[in-house]
Amino acid sequence: MPVGIGRLGEEKVQNRNALAEGLRVPTLRSMSERSAEFVFALCNPESERAMKVEVEMMKLGWRSSYQRRGFVTFKSDQPFKIDDLAVEIACARRLCLSHGKFKTREHAVEALKESGAMLIHDAKYELSKMRGVTVENQEHPKIGDLVGTVVELGESEFWAGLHRHQKAISPDPGGDSGVLMPDSSPSRAWLKLEEAVRFWGLEFTPQDIVVELGCAPGGVVLALLDRGASVIGVDPAKMADVVMEHAITDRREAPNDRPWFYHCKKPAALAAKRDLGPEVTWFMSDMNQAPSVVLKECERFKKMAPGIRGVLITLKLTSMEQVAEKADWFSALREMGFTTVRLQQLSVNHREFALLGLRGSSAEALQP
């Protein structure tokens, strides 16, 4: 170190050099307290406006600032602390303290490491979508780890952000698992289930029996069977052959040594308690119905199968701004006894949200 400069002086010199190269450097105060003037959120394209509506509805005092497809920054009257990120914004797949814009990825990574990032994730807008960059054998963050995210928005536009990994936060870069649907899957619903499982860290066991409404042609059913759970599918439509390979004809004679599928060939409104049998543990739905209709069906099935401890519903909206109704959806599930409720637009969703409700030991697994 040159004589007379000292550590603080040396850091100022380094910052000046970096700024000369077009690098925006966090202040010492920002780095030491992990605070920032802005936060940024990653979302699905065409969800930017809905996210602003959601943030305004939540009365966070955040004001939208810079925006690109799949990327929105917010500012507030007070500096953001990292604990301010502990808010549940359904349209945001990733929420970060912003350390600003840089000309190169290397500069962005350096700033994040100086801020204490233990792991660096990358995201970029690609193929009409904000995607996380999957790195082979990259470790998942542990609870409490500081994770840096570098978002590439252009040839010389790299944004750096920091968040603390917690339960119920996706461990994958940009909240995007990058999971690929197998050729054997009969529908994209397979992706919805797998993405939800990874985002929230859900677990299914051979003891689980899932009832799914609107199950045809069987994407979710196949994913659950592969995870060892058995499924009662409620749908008058035909199921895919790959699913019917696991089918049983009599619910009362379900085997104990393998996952099975029972097809209840009825509209959801006509399914009865005798169709479900005992020990149902999960309710799922991918029906093309309004949220209010699906939630009423959920309530009815919960009464028929009181042992249900988990709910996972794909809510299909006519307008993304219906997210402003999320308090009503949460209230409906809580009145059914679900103590942990989450809403999230997953990377594989279009005009949809995944609504999760848990109770008992399942809920405890997602508590902060």
232-283 pLDDT tens trace? 999 999 999 999 999 999 999 999 999 999 999 999 999 999 999 999 999 9
pLDDT for 30 equals: 40
At 73, is the secondary structure helix, strand, or coil? strand
Half-sphere exposure of 320 (CA within 13 A, CB side): 20
pLDDT for 20 equals: 39
> How far apart, in whole angstroms, are the C-alpha atoms of residue 109 and residue 148?
8
Please give the C-alpha separations between residue 21 and each of 30, 111, 114, in angstroms, as whole numbers.
21, 14, 18
Give every CB contact of residue 319 below 8 A, 6+ residues apart in sequence: 351
Residue 249's φ and ψ, nearest 5 degrees, are -95, -15
Query: Whole-number mean pLDDT of the chain?
Result: 91
pLDDT for 26 equals: 42
Identity of the residue numbered 33: E
pLDDT for 33 equals: 58
DSSP class of residue 165 equals: -
- In order of their start, the domains of the chain are 6-175 (3.30.2130), 189-364 (3.40.50.150)
pLDDT for 367 equals: 63
pLDDT for 2 equals: 38
**Residues of the chain below pLDDT 70:** 1-33, 365, 367-368
pTM of the model: 0.89
Identity of the residue numbered 42: L
Nearest to 79 by CA among 135, 39, 131, 25: 39
User: How far out from the chain centre does Cα 97 lie?
Assistant: 18
pLDDT for 34 equals: 77
> How far apart, in whole angstroms, are the C-alpha atoms of residue 81 and residue 224?
39
Terminal C-alpha separation, the chain: 44
Residue 31's φ and ψ, nearest 5 degrees, are -70, -40
pLDDT for 364 equals: 72
Q: What are 71-104's pLDDT values in tens digits? A: 999 999 999 999 999 999 999 999 999 999 999 9
Give every CB contact of residue 202 below 8 A, 6+ residues apart in sequence: 196, 310, 312, 356
**Is 324 exposed, middle or buried, given 0-12, 13-18 or 19+ CB atoms closer than 10 A?**
middle
Q: What does 111-154 look like in DSSP terms, one character per residue?
A: HHHHTT-SEEEEEEEETTEEEE---TTPPPPPTT-EEEEEEEEE
> How far apart, in whole angstroms, are the C-alpha atoms of residue 148 and residue 162?
5
